[in-house]
Amino acid sequence: MRVSQVLASQHIGWHFQQFWRTQGKRKIVDTGAAKILEKRGILVRDPHKELKEKYTYEKIEVVGYIDKPQAFDNTHPNWHSRPLLTYNDNNVLLEGLAQAKILTNSVEVKQGLPDAMELPKITKDFNRKVKDIILSTVLFDAEQKKLPKIKDSERPAWNFPRTYGITQPRVHKLLITKLLSLIEKTSSQDLVKNKYVSDDLYFSFPFERFGENIQFQLLGDIVLTSSEPLSVVSSDSTSEFELPDLAPIKPTISLTPENIYVMKDVYSIERVAIKRHPHTLFVNFNKETVKNLYEEEVTAEQIYGRSLLKTFTAAAAYAKQTYGTNVKELPTPVVLQCIQSDGRLFYFGLLQLNTLDLESINIKNVWFQTPGLPLYEKCVYEVGRPVLHGYNDEVVRHFVAFYSNT
């Protein structure tokens, strides 16, 4: 193939673009004409300002027009100059149970649960059904969602492949509801017909403590109510028991201050409802959402404190609805049970609310609790087969005892 001769041709369009680009960068040369005109008394005006047409804009109200969202500052209608210290579902107290006792004026008269609560015996058939519930909840459920990232403290920068499976909130809800259903099937009709199960009940209790406005706004993931309140579990005097001392730490540390708030007592069940009395509060502990403000791992003491505050909020809101908003020393103590769990570890607690006077020295509220009890050690697939290791029927005995308590 013969090579063609290279011609010295010019692209007129390209040259025109380059010339336009070069001329567009030229600066206007000051000829001094403006100064000469000013010396002669001739006014010089900027043509851009004189030739620009001026418009007057008027606001037009349009039907269906959505106003701008309210700014979260001092223009908000619920703004208060005095801050409110709040405790929500995702908070934990810095000092855990000790701090919760101070805030709620509660003491522990003994370790563990009350003496009157006896743990029943569990049959082999019942344990077999509980094991089937654990397997069906943890391994066999059809939900497939992206699970939280896997983290390794020894290799913090390593990115593990994302896994899919059953989320922790679903495991907790399925496990609790199935265990309740199993107990209902095996219990007497007189016991079951007086109970009612509700989901996501909201409780709010405002009060003043240490010269600060405080409000607990918490959610009951699953709430078991009954037609009759629980019986009093302790008649011992609490005057000789002292609250913990956190000095020099302030008891309200780690509570969130807010300036936009509404202080209101809320107990989500109407007073006219037959089965309105709180019986047992089931609380989900999800380590992905419940975190420490200081980026530390949540400790067991902080989990205990979370159980106490959740139980106290629900019991106090119920007491105010029952005995009036100005009640201090309750005519009859309010007893409420709490079971907090992440799906494997279970924390059992019981609160006897004697007074809403949180400054009282002679009368205090009473709190009972157990350490964390594992329902099982491991529930996984091994060589393609589902296996359950380390099943602990002690948890089921506590669970049944709490349900059967009257």
pLDDT at 115: 87
pLDDT > 90 in the chain, percent: 65
Q: Which of 3-7, 80-84, 230-234, 393-397 has the lowest mean pLDDT?
A: 3-7
For residues 80 and 205, give the distance between their C-alpha atoms in angstroms, rounded to a whole number.
18
In a domain, 21, yes or no: no
Mean pLDDT score across all residues of the chain: 91
- For 166, the token pair is 């059953």
pLDDT band at 49 (very low <50, low <70, confident <90, very high): confident
pLDDT digits (tens, 9 = 90+) for 334-362: 999 999 999 999 999 999 999 999 998 89
pLDDT at 58: 84
pLDDT at 65: 67
For residues 139 and 141, give the distance between their C-alpha atoms in angstroms, rounded to a whole number.
6
Average pLDDT, integer, range 169-186: 95
Average pLDDT, integer, range 172-189: 94
Average pLDDT, integer, range 158-169: 92
Average pLDDT, integer, range 163-179: 95
pLDDT digits (tens, 9 = 90+) for 8-43: 677 888 888 998 888 888 887 888 888 888 888 888
pLDDT at 247: 85
Average pLDDT, integer, range 55-79: 81
pLDDT at 298: 92
How many residues belong to the chain? Answer: 406
Neighbouring residues of 73: CB distance < 8 A, sequence distance ≥ 6 = 79
- For 29, the token pair is 């040369």
In a domain, 23, yes or no: no
Contacts 24+ apart (CB under 8 A), 276-279: 276/225, 277/225, 277/226, 277/227, 277/228, 277/229, 277/230, 277/318, 278/223, 278/224, 278/225, 278/314, 278/315, 278/318, 278/334, 278/336, 279/195, 279/224, 279/225, 279/226, 279/230, 279/336, 279/337, 279/405
In a domain, 26, yes or no: no
DSSP codes, 127-196: HHHHHHHHHHHHTS----EEPPPP--TTSTT--PPP-EE--HHHHHHHHHHHHHHHHHHHS-HHHHTTEE
In a domain, 320, yes or no: yes
In a domain, 298, yes or no: yes
pLDDT band at 274 (very low <50, low <70, confident <90, very high): very high
Q: Are 292 and 120 in contact (CB under 8 A)?
A: no
pLDDT at 234: 87
pLDDT digits (tens, 9 = 90+) for 116-154: 889 999 999 999 999 999 999 999 999 999 999 988 888
In a domain, 241, yes or no: yes
For residues 128 and 160, give the distance between their C-alpha atoms in angstroms, rounded to a whole number.
36
Please provide residue 203's backbone torsions phi and psi, each rounded to the nearest 5 degrees. Answer: -130, 140
Average pLDDT, integer, range 227-253: 90
Average pLDDT, integer, range 283-292: 92
pLDDT band at 6 (very low <50, low <70, confident <90, very high): low
pLDDT at 96: 92
Does the pLDDT of residue 7 top 70, yes or no?
no
pLDDT digits (tens, 9 = 90+) for 304-345: 999 999 999 999 999 999 999 889 999 999 999 999 999 999
Please provide residue 222's backbone torsions phi and psi, each rounded to the nearest 5 degrees. Answer: -135, 130
Q: Which of 66-75, 260-269, 291-300 has the lowest mean pLDDT?
A: 66-75
Burial classification of residue 130, based on how many CB atoms lie within 10 Å of its CB (0-12 exposed, 13-18 middle, 19 or more buried): buried
Instruction: Name the domain count of the chain.
Output: 1
How many other β-carbons are positioned within 10 Å of the β-carbon of residue 11? Answer: 9
In a domain, 47, yes or no: no
- The residue with tokens 């920068």 is 157
pLDDT at 1: 56
Cα distances (Å, whole numbers) of residue 187 to 150, 176, 191, 194, 393: 41, 16, 7, 12, 18
Average pLDDT, integer, range 269-280: 93
For residues 207 and 360, give the distance between their C-alpha atoms in angstroms, rounded to a whole number.
14
pLDDT at 137: 95
pLDDT digits (tens, 9 = 90+) for 98-118: 999 999 999 999 888 998 889
| DSSP state letter for 28 | P
pLDDT at 73: 85
In a domain, 12, yes or no: no
pLDDT > 70 in the chain, percent: 98
| DSSP state letter for 24 | H
pLDDT at 61: 75
Instruction: Print the domain residue range for 205.
Output: 79-404
